[in-house]
Amino acid sequence: MAHDKAAHIDEVEKLVEIIKDIKIAMLTTHGPDGLESRPLSVTEVGNDADVWFFTAASSDVAEQVSKDQEVNAAFSNDKSWVSLSGKANLVTDVAKKKELWNSAVAAFFSQEPESPEVVLIQLKSDSAQYWENPGGVLSLATSWVKGKVAGEPAHPGDSATVDL
Has residue 19 got a pLDDT over 90?
yes
Backbone angles phi, psi at 122, to 5 degrees: -105, 115
What is the average per-residue pLDDT within 16-25? Answer: 95
83 band by pLDDT with thresholds 50, 70 and 90: very high
What pLDDT is recorded for position 160?
72
Can you tell me whether residue 58 is helix, strand or coil? coil
What pLDDT is recorded for position 155?
53
CATH label of the domain that carries residue 40 = 2.30.110.10
Query: Which among 19, 48, 44, 47 has a CA at the least distance from the CA of 121?
Result: 44
What pLDDT is recorded for position 141?
44
User: Helices (DSSP H) in 24-135: which residue ranges?
Assistant: 60-67, 94-100, 103-106
Question: Count of domains in the chain?
Answer: 1
Span of 10-19, 95-104, 147-156 with lowest mean pLDDT: 147-156
Has residue 13 got a pLDDT over 90?
yes
What pLDDT is recorded for position 29?
98
What pLDDT is recorded for position 77?
93
Query: Which among 63, 40, 54 has a CA at the least distance from the CA of 122?
Result: 54
Contacts of 13 (CB under 8 A, 6+ apart): 47
The residues that bridge with 84 in the sheet, in sequence order, are 73, 128
Query: Which among 113, 83, 91, 86 has a CA at the least distance from the CA of 18?
Result: 83
Has residue 36 got a pLDDT over 70?
yes
**What is the domain range of residue 8?**
2-163
Percentage of the chain modeled with pLDDT above 90: 72
Stated pTM of the model: 0.82
